[in-house]
Amino acid sequence: MKRAVPTLIAATVGFVLVIAFFIPATQSWGETAVVWFNILAGVAFILGGGNLVKVQLETISARRKGYGYAIVTLAAFFAMLAFGLLKIGVHPQAQYPLHPWAGPHDAPSSPFGWMYEYIFSPITATMFASLAFYVASAAFRAFRAKNVEAILLLGTAFLVLVGNTAIARITDALPESLAFLRLDSIVANLMTYLSTGAWRAITIGIAIGVAATSLRVLLGIDRPYLGRT
């Protein structure tokens, strides 16, 4: 029961989706399965939130090191949750003014929108931005032009980086007959022809890998959903 039913569920829904692609009459089955999938994906976010609360409460109750940060996490979580769930400060939609709950929960004028604009966005953007320093630092330490492969990688990176800056304009002085030697033209050709072939091969490889893995799941050879149970 613990193994057979999940395997049957995965195989059935997977093959329904495959069949729905090939037989138009069964298309609605596939659409229903996708709606159910979206519902479960939404519930997974709630599960994630619940798990976060559980872990943080455990940290606080056990007075583990850094439990103060767990309090901050919970406070931020519940504040955002309350503002968004209760739609505090949200105006109704213009066509339904008597339904205040019909307004968008993420309206910019609401406290939820405020927290998104002034807390969520700046922190995530700065976290991604700070990776620029780590990428540069890692590249400086790791990249050494000691063989053909490394030279190709570094040379291409250098050309693409320089080709997308104002410095590339110095090659604009080249006559029209030598236009293919302009930096922007070199970078464009490099991306269109040299890089594209390799990326297509990688994409084809990924597609074959995904198809093989999917088939293994549908046939019950791989059963990742069973986990440790």
Partner 1 sequence: MSRSTMVWLVVFLLGAAGLATNLVVRPKGFGLAYVHDEPVRRVEVTVGPPIGADANEPTETKWVEAGGPELDRPNVSRTTTPEVSWIEESQVTPAKAWDEMQGDPSYRLSLKHTLGIWVAAFFTLAVLSFLWRDNPVYKFAESVIVGVSAAYWMLNAFWATLVPNLIQPLFPKFVQSWAMPGTTGEASDFWFVTLVPLTFAVMLLLRLSPKGGWIAAWPLAFVIGTTAGMKLVSHVQADFLSMLSGSVLPLYATDAQGRFELGTSIGNFVLIVGLLSVLTYFFFSVEHRGTIGKFARLGVWFLMVSFGAAFAFTVMGRITLLSERLEFLFSDWLWLIDPKGAHTAMGLLFSIR
Among positions 167-226, residues that touch partner 1 (CB under 8 A) are: 180, 189-208, 210-211, 213-215, 217-218, 223-226
Residue of the chain from 26, 33, 174, 184 that contacts partner 1 (CB under 8 A): 33
Burial of 87 (C-beta count, 10 Å sphere; 0-12/13-18/19+): buried
Residue of the chain from 61, 126, 172, 221 that contacts partner 1 (CB under 8 A): 126
Binding to partner 1 by residue 155, rule CB under 8 A?
Answer: yes
Distance of CA 197 to the CA centre of its chain: 25
How far, in Å, CA of 33 to CA of 63, rounded? 44
Burial of 147 (C-beta count, 10 Å sphere; 0-12/13-18/19+): exposed
Nearest-Å Rg of the Cα atoms of the chain is 27
Task: Please state the closest distance from residue 167 (CB atom) to partner 1, in A.
Answer: 14
Task: Please state the closest distance from residue 173 (CB atom) to partner 1, in A.
Answer: 21
Cβ proximity to partner 1: between 62 and 153 the closer is 153
Residues 96-115: x where in contact with partner 1 by CB under 8 A, - otherwise, as a string: xxxx-xx--xx--x--x-xx
Q: How many chain residues interact with partner 1 (CB under 8 A)? A: 137
- For residue 20, what are the contacts with CB-CB under 8 A and spacing of at least 6? 26, 27, 28, 29, 30, 31, 33
Binding to partner 1 by residue 166, rule CB under 8 A?
Answer: no
Residue of the chain from 27, 31, 54, 221 that contacts partner 1 (CB under 8 A): 54
CA-CA-CA-CA torsion sign (150, 153, 159, 165): negative
Cβ proximity to partner 1: between 78 and 167 the closer is 78
Binding to partner 1 by residue 4, rule CB under 8 A?
Answer: no
Residues 62-81: x where in contact with partner 1 by CB under 8 A, - otherwise, as a string: ----x--xx-xxxxxxxxxx
Find the binding residues for partner 1 in span 130-149 (CB under 8 A). Answer: 130-133, 135-136, 139, 148-149
Cβ proximity to partner 1: between 132 and 173 the closer is 132
Helices and strands (DSSP H and E) totals, the chain: 8, 0
What's the helix, strand, coil split of the chain in %, to 5? 80, 0, 20
How far, in Å, CA of 214 to CA of 207, rounded? 10
